[in-house]
Structure 1
Amino acid sequence: MHLYQDQFSKEHDFAKQKQADKFLVIASTQRCGSHMLGHALYCTGVFGFPLEYANPLNLKEWEKQLGARGLHNVLDILQQRRTSANGVFSIKVHYDHIREFQGFPNLLKRFPDALFVLLHRRDTLKQALSFSKAKQTGVWIAGQEAKQDNAEFDYQDVNFCLKKIIQDTASWRYLLASQGCRFLDMEYEALRADLTAGVQRIASAMDITLPISTIRELTQRQADRQRDVWQQQFLALHQGKQEQLFKAPSGIKSRIRRLLGY
């Protein structure tokens, strides 16, 4: 996988800080719009730079560049470099990344009294299609170098991605509720429609004063015609398999359920 190299640039560092006073965690899933939100927050200059610092592939490169070993040592250094002048440090955490903290309680200890933004998409199928395509091409953000030019529709993989997104989002919601965390529930579609209002809502929840006229979208939307074609293919195949399941003899139903991922 070709990493998003711009994230490592020292141009994104703030003046060195001893420690952070406030923490923001974007609780995300793959292809939910977290990159769009993270860059919009970064451009304000008062939220640090929320990136996937705990992503295992990114972490490995950070260890190399910083000469540090282990997530917490890397975060110690990054909090000095990526905490904005008002004392705010932000991070994006996919549900998978929690294991890098050795569990959610350790994540909470690392970012005490953090505000979580639970970011999710209303159209989960489109998110799953985008997820499946990105897994093949390696392009998770516009401008990232592709590991292959073409992606092919794969019903089984799209179905896997759809289930994973739904399960991970529900798991995030359970963790945040059961641990009594402060969190905002934010929908990608509403955020895209009014990015300024979304950022202002986060700032208000964290008692942060926003500079005037600093909110803008820095990322490029990756939606394309291919995804729409894939959606129609998935829906047609899925409906057909469900009809087979309904009509099939009992001995064959278990095989069809495996194909459907039930």
Structure 2
Amino acid sequence: MTEGLYEDQFDSRHDFAHNRRATKTLIIASTVRSGSHMLGHALHATGAFGYPLEYAQPKNLSVWKQMLAVNDTQQTMQKLLVRRSSENGVFGIKIHYRHLDTLGGLTGLLHCFPDPHFVLLTRDDVMAQAVSLAIARQTGNWISGQNESDVEPEYRFSEIDDSLRRVVLENASWQYLLAANGLPTLPLRFSDVKNNTRQTIADIAGFMDVELDVSRIPTTPVTKKQSKSLNESWIERFQKETSEGDELLRYHAEKFTYRLKRKFR
């Protein structure tokens, strides 16, 4: 990630001037490469949902702690609730499932954020999401707007397999956690964000009982699509190898043998 783009999220120009703490929270419950960046920026453009960013991502959280001169995660979030809540008292945050630990799990999350409303964001095509993740891991190109990396990604069956398992597991984990605790949840598909941004934001506003200035609702996505023909070729190759069975069986046999060697070493 280019440093300028990464550091922009910490710029004080994104703070809201009213200095009022949040009374309601929008939590985008997401997984990596699910389109949460696109959704967060579209919501920010309305001025009614704070600035939904990955405040709980470990690297980001470390920077915020240093900037705000605090060591405690809860205190950091309390300060962000003042800085980044929109004038209507709404704070927004994106949380990938694995970042819950930085907040102290669900209990810590509920303690941090007032009146949380969860938008569960998923992609219909989890295979495409997994390949996108595998490519981003190699190139470091995580969001649109970055300078293109010089790294030429290489197809690796194991990386796509691991990425797919992560996406499926974390999607299911979010679904279980929210359902098991009876938390207010609006399921949302990435395709809806991309193809009908205006209606998507209106649906979120209705779900949260938030008033909107309709003139500020984006009619089209505010970020650009990153996927290319490379992604499609990787999907085709992975699915071919998986359907043939040999590559999948060999890969998992090697992993099982490795674990046994470590266990009985």
Aligned letter for 1:34? S
Match of 2:73 in 1: 71
1:210 aligns with 2:208: no
Residue among 115, 132, 135 paired with 1:133: 135
Greater shift, 13-22 or 221-230, is seen at 13-22
Q: CA deviation at 1:139?
A: 1.4
Q: 1:86 is matched with which residue: 85, 88, 105?
A: 88
The answer to whether residue 253 in structure 2 is matched with residue 255 in structure 1 is yes
Query: Which of 227, 230, 244 is the matching residue for 1:240?
Result: 244
Residue segments in structure 1 that go unaligned for 5+ positions in a row? 246-251
Matched, 1:223 2:227: yes
Percent identity of paired positions between Structure 1 and Structure 2: 40
State the Cα RMSD in Å.
Answer: 2.1
> Residues 254 and 193 of structure 1: is their aligned pair in 2 closer, same or farther, counting only changes over 3 Å?
closer
Q: 1:113 aligns with which of 109, 115, 120?
A: 115
Q: For residue 24 of structure 1, give the secondary structure of its aligned residue in structure 2.
A: strand
**How has the CA–CA distance of structure 1 residues 243 and 164 changed in structure 2, closer, same or farther, with 3 Å as cutoff?**
closer
**How many Å apart are 1:134 and its aligned residue?**
0.8
Cα offset for 1:144?
2.6
Alpha carbons 1:138, 1:145 under 8 Å: kept? no
- CA distance in 2 between counterparts of 1:242 and 1:25 reads 42
* Secondary structure of 1:23's aligned partner: strand
Letter in 2 for 1:255: A
Instruction: Return the offset for 1:61.
Output: 1.6
Higher mean displacement: 63-72 or 76-85: 63-72
Q: In 1, distance between residues paired with 2:179 and 2:57?
A: 24
> Which aligned segments of 4 or more residues in structure 1 are displaced greater than 3 angstroms?
145-148, 242-245, 256-259
Match of 1:115, SS state, is: strand
Partner in structure 2 of residue 187 of structure 1: 189
Are 1:33 and 2:31 counterparts?
A: no
Contact 1:2–1:147 at 8 Å: present in 2 too? no
Provide the TM-score with structure 2 as the length reference.
0.89
Quote the offset at 1:66 in angstroms.
2.3
Secondary structure in structure 2 of the residue aligned to 1:122: coil
* Distance (whole Å) between structure 1 residues aligned to residue 52 and residue 139 of structure 2: 24
Whole-Å Cα distance in 1 between the matches of residues 39 and 180 of structure 2?
25
Quick one: structure 1 residues 254 and 243, their matched pair in 2 at CA, closer, same or farther if it must change by over 3 Å?
A: closer
